[in-house]
Structure 1
């Protein structure tokens, strides 16, 4: 976990410049979160906070939970991770167990805070582990369905073409990270899932 330390410290410093708030929707996870530079504009209806850190695994997200998520005091958590775990050779079942460890910390430190898991994408460079990604997603989906405060959003299928393979035009040249068009697809998918509906406070007339 030492590899992530510098970036985690930068995120911790970020808290010191933020005003206190009780309505933050925290986007947490790997570089797919960190590189979402239009996040605040894409979801202007909520108070977003991007706590993605590059290269992070689902295991790392659980490891740094107390240092990053707890101080953020989120009203809701949106999690994307697991991509790098599988890319590093972890088994689907291991990724599922890392997710279970993350859930344990949610229940311990942030009880009653809604959690949305964004399913692991299948990218062109990781097409060779597509079956492992699908299995990890299915195992996590089954776990999510056990808790009424948790939600699973399929972010995988919208990035696939009619042939079932990743749409190259939605990814950067590295074949791993999303480009602006890909993030647009993700934005629309999240909006269609209506995960913010119960967070929005009607404005007085």
Structure 2
């Protein structure tokens, strides 16, 4: 019995160390804490993905929808989203799922091709659809930005691959936000904060216009 308890303790310590070494553990731990205090009610609008969602602090007010639950974490790639999917999406019972992710995959390395991004997204989407066969899924396209404009070709190609793939799923919507954020073929200059990557209120106003009907229909 004593050996059994020691083995369990070692296993627990090993798991804890592994989790803490994984990127975004602090963010995931914060989500767990929030859920332990007040678990989101079933039927929520769930945002998952990276910082363009995470930093949308006024989402509930913008969409006049108090059911929005934001489980995006800054810097996340599709691989990170897949790794933490049990914590940020699978354990909930949402009405709709909105995804913004893939941009950081491209930015992480020149070796990450559009095909790699697509394969990662397809893996995530397959898991979500198996777990939530009837729930609408909305994918917001990778956005353009001044900082990452040199990566535009890979980003646009990834958007095309994902968009074409989602046409086979009638309960999925692809939102082309890319074109809406361009002016004269380049990213608008006044819709970003100083880092030229993340959006200001003018940028989010563009997203709001495109997503409002999907969130509140």
TM normalised by structure 1 equals 0.90
Instruction: Tell me whether 9-18 or 173-182 shows the greater mean CA deviation.
Output: 9-18
CA distance in 2, matches of 1:3, 1:134: 27
Equivalent in the alignment of 2:215: 196
The structure that has the greater radius of gyration is 2
What TM-score comes out, normalization by structure 2 length?
0.85
- Indicate the RMSD between aligned Cα atoms, in angstroms: 1.4
2:202 counterpart of 1:170: no
Structure 2: 5+ residue stretches without partners = 1-20
Q: Within the alignment, does 1:73 sit opposite 2:93 as a pair?
A: yes
Deviation, structure 1 residue 107: 2.1
Q: Which residue of 1 aligns with 2:136?
A: 114
1:183 aligns with 2:204: yes
Alignment counterpart, residue 122 of structure 2, candidates 95, 100, 113: 100
Counterparts of 1:16 and 1:142, CA distance in 2? 39
Alignment gaps of 5+ in structure 1? 199-205
Tell me if 1:37 matches 2:57: yes
User: Which of 19, 35, 46 is the matching residue for 1:15?
Assistant: 35
Indicate the SS of the match to 2:173: strand
How is 1:126-141 mapped onto 2 (pairs within 5 angstroms)? 126-141=148-163
Per the TM alignment, residue 14 of structure 1 is displaced from its structure 2 partner at its CA by 1.6
Q: Which residue of 2 is the match for residue 202 of structure 1?
A: none
72, 94, 106: which is aligned to 1:52?
A: 72
Q: Who is 1:201 aligned against?
A: none
8 Å CA contact retained: 1:58, 1:85: yes
Name the counterpart of 2:7: none
Q: Distance in 2 between matches of 1:196 and 1:30?
A: 19
The number of residue pairs the alignment matches comes to: 195
The answer to whether the 8 Å contact 2:63/2:216 transfers is no
Residue 197 of structure 1: how far off its partner (Å): 5.0
Contact map agreement 1:12 1:68 (CA 8 A) in 2: no
